[in-house]
Amino acid sequence: MPAVLVTGGGSGIGAEVCRVLAAAGWQVAAADLRPPEGGHELDTTDEAGWERVLDAVWPLDGLVNCAGIRDRAPLEELELAAFERMMAVHVTGCFLGTRGVARRWRTEERSGAVVNISSVTATHAVAGQVHYVTAKGAIAALTRAAAVELGPTGTRVNAIAPGIIRTPMTADRLGDPDQTAWLLSRVPAGRVGEPAEIASAVQFLLSDAASYVNGVLLPVDGGWAAG
Mean pLDDT of all residues in 196-221: 99
- In whole angstroms, give the CA distance from residue 132 to residue 86: 6
Quick one: pLDDT band at residue 137, thresholds 50, 70, 90?
A: very high
Domain boundaries, the chain: 3-168+195-221
Query: Which member of 95, 105, 132, 224 is catalytic?
Result: 132
- Three-state SS for 46? coil
pLDDT at 171: 87
pLDDT at 169: 87
Residues belonging to the chain: 227
Clarify whether 132 is annotated catalytic.
Answer: yes
Strand partners, 217: 159
The predicted-structure confidence for 45-100, as pLDDT tens digits, reads as follows 999 999 999 999 999 999 999 999 988 899 999 999 999 999 999 999 999 999 99
Mean pLDDT of all residues in 13-21: 98
User: pTM of the entire structure?
Assistant: 0.96
Mean pLDDT of all residues in 156-169: 96
Q: If one looks up domain 3-168+195-221 in CATH, what number appears?
A: 3.40.50.720
Beta strand residue intervals within 39-88, DSSP E? 40-41, 62-65
- Ranges of H-type helices in 88-176: 93-107, 130-150, 171-174
CA dihedral 154, 67, 168, 83 (to 10 degrees): -130
Choose among 121, 140, 135: nearest CA to 215: 140
pLDDT above 90: residue 227: no
